[in-house]
Amino acid sequence: MGRGGGRAGPRPPIRGERAAGRAAGTHTDSLGDAPGRMDTTDRNLINRLQDEIPLVERPFAAIGEALGLSEGEVLARTQALAAAGTFRRLGASFDARQLGYVTTLVAVRVAADRIEAVAGFLRHFPDVTHNYEREHEFNLWFTLVSRNQARVEAILGELHQQFPEAEILNLPATRSLKTRVFFDMTRP
Amino acid sequence: MTLPLTQQDRALVRALGQGLPLVPRPFAVLAERLGRSEADVLARLREWRQSGILRRLSAYVRHRREGYQANGMVVWDVADGAIAAAGARLAASPKVSHCYARVRTESFPYRLYAMVHGRTRDEVQAEAARLSCEAGLGEFRILFSTRELKRSDPPLFAEEEGL
């Protein structure tokens, strides 16, 4: 059960500081990494962390086993990468629909000088999880994760009331074919 | 598809939304916060992982900062019968993060959507063309994002905070 590493791993503070130094931009290793905040080990680690955190008692020890690192070194490097802002957090992605939520993508066509106003209006709804300006006549695209269909309709109704000149398209998914975000960090 | 979750389970969903603590036994820390045992929390998470409720537990990279500056929503109009096969082809690309079939409307007559990420616009453009060809899809449009206006975590069971 992921008990490969030592209890706390070889984890003297200096190691953490070294890893932090790399991640913060003071170190470039000799392998030709991009002027670099991260060395090759960091890059392999971040790929592994993006892939999946194993659901075992000591996940960092398990990751370390796969990468040939101690649990302590995995943790120190992970903390340094987090501190440097390379990733936002180790988080869970839930299928909101399976949890009973209604999700959808909404397209809005609005005059360019009204985008800020629409975005400002939408910002206050916790249901709005992503909102992007895009190059198209439908120039604003946002996603909703709402408690139920009535709530989706209430938000879209309010949006229409506030901005009657905007054209609004509700484009719910009929089928989810992939949700797997992964950015290869080993290709500088 | 909806599973009834206990109040404890909903609290676990919320706790995970805040991220996994960076300590040797993160699930023990979560469990303690929630008044459950580590074994219980792990068993539940494995169950959710199995059923797909939990898609994944992983690091969320700040991809724009890390050089992935270009992001395009690529859309195709596809006949209903062709969606599964084409979608599987698109999903296989590591540059595609999300792929959905969506309702088609008169003002936006597309059915298949793929989010394509790249370091440059050219890279996104080339990948869209390659995918389109490989999946046997015809014409496509790319809607490049020009500005992020909001990005936040889904408010899963947020209204129960503090119960």
| Spatial contact of B117 and B131, defined as CB atoms under 8 Å apart | no
Interface test with A, best of B1, B55, B106, B137 (most A CBs within 10 A): B55
The edge-to-edge listing of strands for the beta sheet with B70-76 is: A167-170, A102-109, A140-146, A128-134, B141-151, B70-76, B112-118, B96-102, A173-179
For residues A130-153, give the mean pLDDT. 97
Could you give the CA distance from residue B73 to residue B87 in angstroms, rounded to a whole number?
14
The answer to whether B55 faces chain A, any CB pair under 8 Å, is: yes
Q: Which residue has the higher pLDDT, B19 or A36?
A: B19
Task: State the nearest Cα–Cα gap between B126 and chain A, in angstroms.
Answer: 17
Has this prediction a pTM greater than 0.80?
yes
Q: Which residue has the higher pLDDT, B26 or A185?
A: B26
The answer to whether B106 faces chain A, any CB pair under 8 Å, is: no
- B contacts of A3 (beta carbons < 8 Å): none
| Spatial contact of B37 and B43, defined as CB atoms under 8 Å apart | no
CB contact under 8 A, A58 and B25: yes
Query: Of B46, B68, B156, which is closest to A94 when you measure between CB atoms?
Result: B156
CB contact under 8 A, A134 and B97: no
Residue B142, beta-bridge partner list: B74
Q: How many CB atoms neighbour CB A86 within 10 A? A: 23
- Write down the pLDDT at residue B162: 62
* Mean pLDDT, chain B, integer: 92
Query: DSSP assignment of chain A, as one string?
Result: ----S-SS-S--HHHHHHHHHHHHTS---TT--SSSS--HHHHHHHHHHHH---SSS-HHHHHHHHHT--HHHHHHHHHHHHHTTSEEEEEEEE-TTTTT-EEEEEEEE--GGGHHHHHHHHHT-TTEEEEEEESSSS-EEEEEEESSHHHHHHHHHHHHHH-TTSEEEE--EEEEEEE-----TT--
- B contacts of A182 (beta carbons < 8 Å): 94, 97
**Paired tokens of A171:** 């484009």
| Spatial contact of B67 and A133, defined as CB atoms under 8 Å apart | no
CA-closest candidate to residue A182, choices A74, A49, A45, A38:
A49
Residue A165 predicted with pLDDT over 80: yes
Q: Which residue of A has its CA nearest to B62?
A: A87
CA-closest candidate to residue B58, choices A97, A130, A46:
A46
| Spatial contact of A144 and A126, defined as CB atoms under 8 Å apart | no
CB contact under 8 A, A53 and B57: yes
- Write down the pLDDT at residue A137: 97
Residue A130 predicted with pLDDT over 90: yes
The answer to whether B90 faces chain A, any CB pair under 8 Å, is: yes
Residue A33 predicted with pLDDT over 80: no
The CA angle A83-B33-B47, to the nearest 5 degrees, is 90
Mean pLDDT lowest for which of A74-88, A137-151, B21-35, B59-73? B59-73
